[in-house]
A and B are shown apart, each in its own frame.
Chain A
């Protein structure tokens, strides 16, 4: 995957990703970006090297002599169990293109009853994903070619990664792999690219605020439901 990616997660997010201290929902978004971005993946490798260097520099602790035997016994046990239960075949539940990040496809697959699209307006669908955390609503959004999302403000922070196609708003055009951050006060109206539908992954910490006069008619927008 190497198209030109112009928008990357902040470096401190990448450090927290490497150190394993980033929140789950953001870990998912960064992981999706990494799938597309050679540069960030390359920096992540260096950051992981830094982590391993810090680990190796520390003073080693004493280990009980019997621990190796315990571990070997557990390894043998696990291998035996594996031989005895040849895994049952899993049935794919949804459209999961191989161009999607592995982690996103796995989330789609493991969302109960499979992730399903529901309509938000004539050009926009949402499929919420089960992520086992309750701070962010993590979801896929699908915008049809040339379709417009309603103009909105943000009450919390919103992270978006373009997975397929492209979209644009007042600031720029975003294509596959681009990582967007929108904060309260950032009003925008995303629009799908003209040639194909656009699918994005997003994490939203609070409901968006519609800025159009009839916004109140659109109830589904006014709440987030993390799961």
Chain B
């Protein structure tokens, strides 16, 4: 399926294909993305206040869910502050073609959370901030953008329908911040079971590109 898209998108000249994709893709028009664009372009403080009102409580809840080693409740409000400051400072770099405001703010929060933990637990100087690892090429390819647009709604819809045991593991991994190995210890399940539950969930949500793609992996 993806192979087909790659073929049709890549074969004609790259630039005309790209224009076609961007024109047909629906524009991002949700309230939060528009507000974030306003903050980035005009330093709009009212728009920022609205974003804050919506996202600060979600970010706090995200922080409170953390079960990382070394995390304590007092850090939750610090994280909210740090993330919202970064949102203001980095809003100009937000690209609405690539991600919704919610996804973009999630990635800022995840990176801040890791950096806070690293700073707390590490006496060594850390050369990079976590967001450095997520630095993407300036221009995404049409394939990536197209896939991304199709997926947002599907993920939301299919997440709600996951079996409880798959949903539970995803929450452990994303919200509590447990590695697969830690999740397997906690749930008393073999590591392979944890990995396959995650994989099943991702397949149901169509996040994994294709079954053929997995078979190319070197066998572990």
Contact = CB atoms under 8 A, between A and B. Distances in A.
Contacts of B8: none
B217 interface: yes
A61 B56 CA distance: 8
Contacts of A183: 220
Contacts of A46: 147-148, 151, 155, 205, 207
Contact of B135 (A17, A60, A75, A102): A102
A61 B64 contact: yes
B200 to A, nearest CB: 11
A96 interface: no
A50 B144 contact: no
Given A6-B216, A10-B217, A31-B133, A21 B100 contact: no
Contacts of A19: 110, 173-174, 177
Contacts of B207: 43, 46-47, 50
Nearest to A21: B179
A103 B148 contact: no
Interface in B65-86: 65, 76-77, 80-81, 84-85
A131 B127 contact: yes
A218 B198 CA distance: 44
A43 B77 CA distance: 31
Contacts, number: 213
Interface residues of B, number: 84
A137 to B, nearest CB: 15
A74 B76 CA distance: 17
B102 A56 contact: yes
A22 B159 CA distance: 23
A68 B49 contact: yes
Interface string A75-113: 100100000000000000000000001110011001100
A50 B155 contact: yes
A73 B220 CA distance: 51
B127 to A, nearest CB: 4
Contacts of A8: 213, 216-217
Contact of B62 (A21, A55, A64): A55
A45 interface: yes
Contact of A2 (B109, B113, B141, B205): B141
A21 B171 CA distance: 13
B189 interface: no
A118 interface: no
Interface of B: 2, 45, 49, 52-53, 56-62, 64-65, 76-77, 80-81, 84-85, 88-89, 98-100, 102-103, 105-107, 109-111, 113-114, 118, 122, 124-128, 130, 132-137, 140-141, 143-144, 147-148, 151-152, 155-156, 159, 170-171, 173-175, 177-180, 182, 195, 198-199, 202, 205, 207-209, 213-214, 216-218, 220
23 contacts: A7-B217, A8-B216, A19-B174, A20-B113, A21-B179, A34-B136, A39-B213, A42-B144, A43-B209, A45-B98, A45-B151, A49-B99, A50-B155, A51-B110, A52-B102, A55-B62, A55-B175, A63-B80, A67-B77, A71-B85, A106-B132, A130-B127, A181-B218
Interface of A: 1-2, 6-8, 10-12, 15-22, 24, 27-28, 30-31, 34-35, 38-39, 41-43, 45-64, 67-68, 70-72, 74-75, 78, 101-103, 106-107, 110-111, 130-133, 180-181, 183
